[in-house]
Structure 1
Amino acid sequence: MAANGLPDVVELDKLPARVVICEVGPRDGLQNESAIVPVEVKLEFIERLVDAGHQLVEVTSFVHPSWVPQLADAEQLLSRLPRRPGVRYPVLVPNARGLDRALDAGVTEIAIFGSATETFARRNLNRTMAESVEMFAPVVAGARERGLRVRGYLSMCFGDPWEGRVPLPQVVRAATALMGLGCTELSLGDTIGVATPGQVRALLALLAQAGVDLDSVAVHFHDTYGQALANTLAALQCGVSIVDASAGGLGGCPYAESATGNLATEDLLWQLAGLGIQTGVDLTKLVETSVWMAGQLGRPSPSRVVQALAPR
């Protein structure tokens, strides 16, 4: 370990010089919490993340409060959130009504949440995959007409708790359908954390063959089987340079009971620092933030790097 508390740098070939981290802790990380986190805590969490250097922070969701009670304060949070120049604050919207609420709140970037499997589409959106795309079409069109960026999440890309293994051509069809709506970015989700690096490489190769620009692709790995960092490295070696992660490893999926936490941003930062890849995020400040948030939630952070670097 270097004197600055970061790993020694040994670079590998075929890796990007810089990675954009999409910090999903305030939305995806907190949505599963059973106890409602006060809006003041959420606001401080977001401010701490931005102060640590994050320039892309997904802050909340305009889903119906009965679906995700934790995020029922979306309007209140956005009305009080300081928007710093150069920082992107996307929000998740489920439908046209969600887009209207987001526009009223002054949002400049949204995300939609699709599925690569029929079962999860029905459980999450009460629609088939095709019906989901039809529902998203006016949302994406309306957002793009107003100059908003649109991130398309695609869940269950490698495995589904009800359907099992997901055929990669099926994932490609779902991905190209979302991108065909006009999404500016596609985030591939390993929602239950079953992927391995070979599967990641195979899917990205098929997407590239289908005409999807990997510069617009992000990866979103869960660490259920301890594969998130290995899968991320495989994706970076294929040309991906956008990675979703959650400070302190917060989060799961309220509609997939076997899904455990997201890839911890601190664990990702440690790996990227050791590879000489720039992110603009200060690891020390982020560890301090996750220790603080763990205190707010009343339990330790599951991040290995937070555990290693946190003051004793």
Structure 2
Amino acid sequence: MESTRTAQPASDPNALDLGLPSVVRDPALPARVRIHEVGARDGLQNESALVPVEVKAEFIARLAAAGLRTIEATSFVHPKWVPQLADAEELLPRLTELRGQYPGLRLPVLVPNERGLERALAHGADEVAVFASATETFAQRNLNRSMAEALEMFRPVVGRATEHGLTVRGYLSMCFGDPWEGPVAPEQVVEAGLRLIELGCAELSLGDTIGVATPGQVAALLEAFTRSGVPVARLAVHFHDTYGQALSNTLTALRHGVTVVDSSAGGLGGCPYAKSATGNLATEDLVWMLHGLGIETGVDLAALVGTSAWLARQLGRPSPSRAVQALAGPTGSPSAAN
């Protein structure tokens, strides 16, 4: 393995620069990972207080400036169900200039049904995602439909979006464990995932919604998808950190060829329909690990930490991200971060 240490501070040539990780490249891992940032949607939808649209727009702009190129912006669900994202129609037009400022920037939005797709199209969305479940109980609680009924509901959504030239991502929740049904068999997840792919989803994000997955489970599920004929290039992983396993699960996924990882700046998020779900994998923690492995992300870690520290001040509480706490101080909201 190639080992590269970070530059040391001039004042003490023997001191470790804690602002950057030491790099030891593992040739068995991907050279580059695309981070699918979900903080502005999955993160903020779980906040009890409504975040002003101006703050959301600036948050997304700061994330783009930090180098993130896939930022899930919002959701076109009915405001009754997710009032935190009721301003989607006001937010999306505010982001138009970002695409010109940052070439290659992707701003996907979540759509639950045809009405949501219509609203998204009317306000300039060019990439969408649908949200399904690998278990019956969560499908009923989250979508008020059976798994089969939910997939049929998504059929015209994916079809129309594809006809309009939009890329569609499929989220699959409860892929490792369900608070009502217990452990979920890999074959059950693969069956639901194949249905989403057959509908026309270009990418499938495998979600550990309540954060119970272990590396062995992750390996078993990815191997099951490989046996089913799904290329690993079409898979992404989405881990919650309930038991502190999100990074180890991510590393396992990388060793199995996954190159797209969902994460949330500052570790924001959870799931309003599964109370045992805690925060998402923090993007800063992920970037620290990836950069330490010599994996390219295109992300400026210092700028990202500053962004999450800024948002922590807007929310009035410290960031749960361990990297933010380490790099920005114990409160995760230093006065130096603009």
Bin for the TM-score computed over the shorter chain: over 0.9
**Please, which of 18, 22, 36 is the counterpart of residue 8 of structure 1?**
22
SS in 2 for 1:111: strand
- Give the corresponding residue for 2:324: 306
After superposition, the C-alpha distances for 1:217-260 in whole angstroms (9 at most, x for unaligned) are 10000000000000000000000000000000000000000000
SS in 1 for 2:46: coil
- Give the corresponding residue for 1:218: 236
Pairing 1:68–2:86 present: no
1:34-49 equivalence runs, <5 A: 34-49=48-63
1:1-312 equivalence runs, <5 A: 2-3=6-7, 5-81=19-95, 82-84=97-99, 85-311=103-329
Deviation at 1:2? 2.3
The 10-residue stretch of structure 1 (3-12 or 173-182) with the greater mean CA deviation from structure 2:
3-12
The 10-residue stretch of structure 1 (75-84 or 16-25) with the greater mean CA deviation from structure 2:
75-84
After superposition, the C-alpha distances for 1:22-53 in whole angstroms (9 at most, x for unaligned) are 00000000001111000000000000000000
Q: Which amino acid aligns with 2:82?
A: V
- For 2:193 and 2:128, how far apart are their aligned partners in 1? 17
SS in 2 for 1:195: coil
Deviation at 1:213? 1.1
Deviation at 1:146? 1.1
* Identity over aligned pairs, percent: 71
8 A contact 2:42–2:270 mirrored in 1? yes
After superposition, the C-alpha distances for 1:150-171 in whole angstroms (9 at most, x for unaligned) are 0000000000011111111100
SS in 1 for 2:24: coil
Provide structure 1 residue ranges, at least 5 long, that are not aligned to the other structure.
none
- For 2:114 and 2:70, how far apart are their aligned partners in 1? 23
- For 1:243 and 1:121, how far apart are their aligned partners in 2? 23
The 10-residue stretch of structure 1 (131-140 or 78-87) with the greater mean CA deviation from structure 2:
78-87
- For 2:31 and 2:98, how far apart are their aligned partners in 1? 27
SS in 1 for 2:98: coil
- For 1:107 and 1:60, how far apart are their aligned partners in 2? 10
- For 1:127 and 1:31, how far apart are their aligned partners in 2? 21
Deviation at 1:6? 1.2
- For 1:69 and 1:276, how far apart are their aligned partners in 2? 40
Deviation at 1:125? 0.5
- For 2:127 and 2:319, how far apart are their aligned partners in 1? 29
Provide structure 2 residue ranges, at least 5 long, that are not aligned to the other structure.
8-16
8 A contact 2:40–2:74 mirrored in 1? yes
8 A contact 2:61–2:98 mirrored in 1? no
Q: Which runs of 4+ in 1 moved over 4 A?
A: none
Larger radius of gyration: 2
| Alignment length (residue pairs) | 312
**What value does the CA root-mean-square deviation take over the aligned residues?**
0.9
State the TM-score, normalized to the length of structure 1: 0.98
Deviation at 1:83? 3.2
Q: Which amino acid aligns with 1:18?
A: R
Deviation at 1:100? 0.4
Deviation at 1:13? 3.6
